[in-house]
């Protein structure tokens, strides 16, 4: 059976959520006007721009309401490994797959110990964009699946006081009683076992980072995640296998795909409300 990585799977999630009710047109081919081969209709009563979380749920709801919908995505469908056998370039050796139409990578820190850590990469429709707005820059995932292609899967329910301050018009009672618990449940949000964290190989660099953060006077906390920590434990114990990322470059990238290598049910992201 072909195994899908988490990222590929989430990409398909966006498409399949739209197609869930058989009412929505999806195509992995590049969109061209009147591309009959791609199955795009001449007319669609609804068009959803993008295929991130928001777009996926919007298209799902439109499909549920019986409204034929076309989803448009400016980025690629990341479903085919390159010649090196990987879908994406690694963090330590980025190439043209890394950035959206940029000649160089744009790391959050441009230099480390006065060394330029950015690399030249071929200009290409890569997976990560960085958009600059005056004194603020924003990273974005580009491709079918949007931010799910690149994000860290941290699943933090905001402190209620913050939520109420930032979104005073939204019913916080309903959010905290119904929607946050439902989203956490649907996404399989879980916590790391702190004892395992202290001893496992995968998090050795996180432990070093924590030590230095503490030396600098910072406190660290564990955050819930949608990565399946149980699967990660089993992977470390050699009971199952993740994708062949550079094994110890980062615990997150090493284990990111574990949860999604064996999809058994409809994509969870497509069902989040
Ligand atoms: C590096 C990184 C790490 C993150 N880590 C976390 C985390 O750990 N936990 C967490 O909760 N959140 C995290 N996030 C944030 C999270 O991924 C975003 O909040 C989320 O993806 C936003 O969803 P969205 O549907 O609004 O848009 P997006 O997921 O950004 O999707 C938008 C999609 O629309 C496409 N698009 C945009 N304009 C057009 C157009 N004109 N035509 C066609 N297509 C278009 C884009 O290419 C993209 O695919 C992270 C984000 C990044 C970039």
| 142 C-beta closer than 6 A to ligand 1 | yes
Per-residue pLDDT, 91: 84
Q: CA 28, 74, 104: angle at the middle one, nearest 5?
A: 120
Could you identify the atom of ligand 1 that is nearest to the CA of residue 144? 49
Write the residue with the smallest CA distance to atom 3 of ligand 1. Answer: 151
| 52 C-beta closer than 6 A to ligand 1 | yes
Pocket residue to mutate for ligand 1, from 54, 131, 151, most atoms within 8 A of Cβ: 151
Write the residue with the smallest CA distance to atom 16 of ligand 1. Answer: 147
Write the residue with the smallest CA distance to atom 45 of ligand 1. Answer: 50
Structure tokens at 102: 């940029």
Task: Evaluate whether 91 touches 117 at the Cβ level (below 8 Å).
Answer: no
| 53 C-beta closer than 6 A to ligand 1 | yes
Task: Evaluate whether 84 touches 243 at the Cβ level (below 8 Å).
Answer: no
Give the separation between CA 112 and CA 53, rounded to whole angstroms: 34
CA of 170 to the centre of ligand 1 (A): 22
Instruction: Return the SS3 of 212.
Output: helix
Kindly report the number of other CB atoms within 10 A of residue 34's CB atom.
8
Give the separation between CA 32 and CA 14, rounded to whole angstroms: 20
Could you identify the atom of ligand 1 that is nearest to the CA of residue 56? 25
pTM score, whole prediction = 0.77
Give the separation between CA 74 and CA 49, rounded to whole angstroms: 9
Write the residue with the smallest CA distance to atom 18 of ligand 1. Answer: 147
CA of 130 to the centre of ligand 1 (A): 11
Q: pLDDT 10s per residue in the chain (273 long)?
A: 334 444 444 444 445 444 444 444 555 554 444 444 567 788 999 999 999 999 999 999 999 999 999 999 999 999 999 999 999 999 889 999 999 999 999 988 877 777 888 999 999 999 999 999 999 999 999 999 999 999 999 999 999 999 999 999 999 999 999 999 999 999 999 999 999 999 999 899 999 999 999 999 999 999 999 999 999 999 999 998 755 333 333 333 333 333 333 233 333 333 332
| 140 C-beta closer than 6 A to ligand 1 | yes
Give the separation between CA 69 and CA 117, rounded to whole angstroms: 43
Could you identify the atom of ligand 1 that is nearest to the CA of residue 75? 47
Beta partners for 225? 154, 190
């Amino acid at each position: 059976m072909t195994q899908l990585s988490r990222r590929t799977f989430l990409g398909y999630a966006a498409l399949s959520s739209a197609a869930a009710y058989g009412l929505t047109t999806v195509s992995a081919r590049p969109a061209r006007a009147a591309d009959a081969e791609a199955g795009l209709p001449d007319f669609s009563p609804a068009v959803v721009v993008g295929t991130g979380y928001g777009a996926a749920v919007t298209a799902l709801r439109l499909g549920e309401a019986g409204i034929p919908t076309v989803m448009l995505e400016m980025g690629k469908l990341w479903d085919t490994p390159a010649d090196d056998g990987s879908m994406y370039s690694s963090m330590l050796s980025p190439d043209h797959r890394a950035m959206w139409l940029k000649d160089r990578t744009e790391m959050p820190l441009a230099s480390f110990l006065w060394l330029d850590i950015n690399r030249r990469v071929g200009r290409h429709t890569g997976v990560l964009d960085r958009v600059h707005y005056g004194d603020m820059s924003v990273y974005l995932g580009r491709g079918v699946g949007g931010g799910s292609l690149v994000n860290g899967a941290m699943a933090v329910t905001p402190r209620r006081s913050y939520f109420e301050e930032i979104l005073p018009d939204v019913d916080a009672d309903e959010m905290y009683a119904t929607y946050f618990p439902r989203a956490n449940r649907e996404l399989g949000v879980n916590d790391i076992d702190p004892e395992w964290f202290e001893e496992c190989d995968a998090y050795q660099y996180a432990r070093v980072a924590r030590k230095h953060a503490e030396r600098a006077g910072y406190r660290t906390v564990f955050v819930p995640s949608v990565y399946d920590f149980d699967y990660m434990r089993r992977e470390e114990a050699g009971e199952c296998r993740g994708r062949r990322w550079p094994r110890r470059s980062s615990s997150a990238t090493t284990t990111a795909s574990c949860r999604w290598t064996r999809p058994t049910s409809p994509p969870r992201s497509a069902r989040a409300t």
